[in-house]
Amino acid sequence: MKHIEVVAGIIQSGGKIFATQRGYGEFKDGWEFPGGKMEPGESQKQALARELKEELAVNVNVADFLCTVNYDYPAFHLTMHCYFCAIADGKLPELLEHEAAKWLSPAELQSVDWLPADVEVVKALEANLR
């Protein structure tokens, strides 16, 4: 089975968490934490900062590690490393690849249809926020 390793950011601001809706591909319309694939030679944190800049035109400070999720999709195995992030320059994210986004309070985390691997991140996040 194909293995894909990615990084994802839990962007926090004002007590809310940023969620994005995929605008393309097999999982179009599913909700996820933004991020993407690591390039050769990049650390997880470097890859996450680059991916968020590319996808959302935003500079972030990558902070604490939250969790690593391993999930078997039908066509591939996903390993996703998740980190808390904060916007570095106060600039709001722009949607360059996603079709929608929401700032969710902890109580609203279950209000969107998360992609399966991201459901696991939400569980870790809820446990961390208690």
pLDDT in tens, 10-55: 999 999 999 999 988 889 999 999 999 999 999 999 999 999 999 9
Rounded to two decimals, the pTM is 0.95
pLDDT in tens, 54-96: 999 999 999 999 999 999 999 999 999 999 999 998 899 999 9
Structural domains of the chain ordered from first start? 2-129 (3.90.79.10)
Question: How many CB atoms within 10 Å of residue 63?
Answer: 14
